Amino acid sequence: MIIAVSGKGGTGKTVVASLLVRSLAERDTYDILAIDSDPDSNLPEALGVEVERTIGEIREELLEKRDSLPPGVSWRSRLEYEAMRALVETEGFDLLSMGRPEGPGCYCAANHVLREIIDTLAKNYDYVIIDTEAGLEHLSRRTTQNVDTMLVVTDTSKRGITTAARIRELAEELQVKFRDIYLVINRATEDTEQKLQEYAREIGLEVIGIVPEDENVRRYDYEGRPLIELPADTPAFSAVREIAEKIAR
Ligand SMILES: Nc1ncnc2c1ncn2[C@@H]1O[C@H](COP(=O)(O)OP(=O)(O)O)[C@@H](O)[C@H]1O
Ligand SMILES: [Mg+2]
């Protein structure tokens, strides 16, 4: 099952994605792959994982060396080998970082092969959680195009909700296929919750969960501590755990 977390920048995609990884990893029965698909992302930090190489770097390196590959070594097997090396394995989950998007020029062949490799890799997992770039272009260009559940994260502004509606349209335009799409309202406070539910109804997106403003999340980010280490009973994590239970029944 592939879950993509999207939304405007700064709305809390990485907070939701990392806590979702933790919720699913806690169950011990699943193999989980987290994909960091946002070039500005902090998913590895949020998950407390160090990344040495990204898929973007592998592509650049191989394109530079393409004429000097020893004979008999195919592009594909080389890319496959390098992608496996870029995979970071931890006890609860694995992580793959996409890195910077391709520069100008035609890298289509490399991208095509990489996409196939990642698609094949993803099939080895029960859950794949993708922290996407705000614009979704990454999702359509470089990682798998078929998403089971799209979570659109919004902050509590009306503009955030409008952007969420646009993301759904964008996903359709970019032909990212998804089975379900839900809204996650993040940083909610008591006085904003009801109004937001109304906005969501107006744009026709079902709210799957409301993540409260959480002082611990703010503090951990401020102190540079991994969100995956948040106290188990902190309100934001409890809320994301409930979302995980709804998605992963
Ligand atoms: N529920 C929350 N409570 C408190 N702070 C939050 C919450 N969600 C997000 N934040 C803060 O908002 C900022 C942006 O969150 P982040 O997940 O990095 O956004 P995105 O990945 O969408 O750009 C971070 O500094 C984070 O600490
Ligand atoms: Mg982020």
**Least confidently predicted of 15-24, 32-41, 57-66, 119-128:** 57-66
Q: For residue 213, is pLDDT > 70?
A: yes
Q: Give the nearest ligand 1 atom to 236 CA.
A: 1
- When pLDDT is cut at 50, 70 and 90, the band that residue 19 belongs to is very high
- Least confident stretch, 49-58, 94-103, 130-139: 130-139
Q: Which atom of ligand 1 is nearest to the CA of 8?
A: 22
Among residues 11, 17, 42, 46, the alpha carbon closest in space to that of 188 is found at 11
Q: Is 224 helix (H, G, I), strand (E, B) or coil?
A: coil
Q: Which residue's C-alpha comes closest to atom 9 of ligand 1? A: 12
The contacts found for 166-172 with CB under 8 angstroms, 24 or more apart, are 167/6, 167/7, 167/8, 167/136, 168/205, 170/135, 170/136, 171/6, 171/136, 171/139
- Percent of the chain, pLDDT > 70? 90
- Give the chain's domains with CATH numbers: 2-247 (3.40.50.300)
218 touches ligand 1 (CB under 6 Å):
yes
- What pLDDT does residue 31 have? 96
Q: Where are the alpha helices (DSSP H) in 148-209?
A: 158-173, 190-203
Give the pLDDT band of residue 145 (cuts 50, 70, 90): low
Average pLDDT over residues 193-212: 90
Rounded to 5°, the CA angle 139-4-171 comes to 50
Give the list of residues 6+ apart from residue 225 with CB closer than 8 angstroms, or none. Answer: none
Q: Name the residue of 186, 217, 242 to mutate for ligand 1: max ligand atoms within 8 A of Cβ.
A: 217
User: For residue 211, which atom of ligand 1 is closest to its CA?
Assistant: 1
- Ion ligand 2, residue ranges at CB < 5 A: 13-14, 41
pLDDT recorded at residue 226:
97
Q: Is the pLDDT of residue 20 over 60?
A: yes
Pocket residue to mutate for ligand 1, from 38, 186, 221, 243, most atoms within 8 A of Cβ: 221
Give the model confidence (pLDDT) of 56-115 as tens digits.
888 888 878 777 767 776 778 888 898 899 999 999 999 999 887 766 554 566 777 777
Q: For residues 139-147, give the mean pLDDT.
A: 60
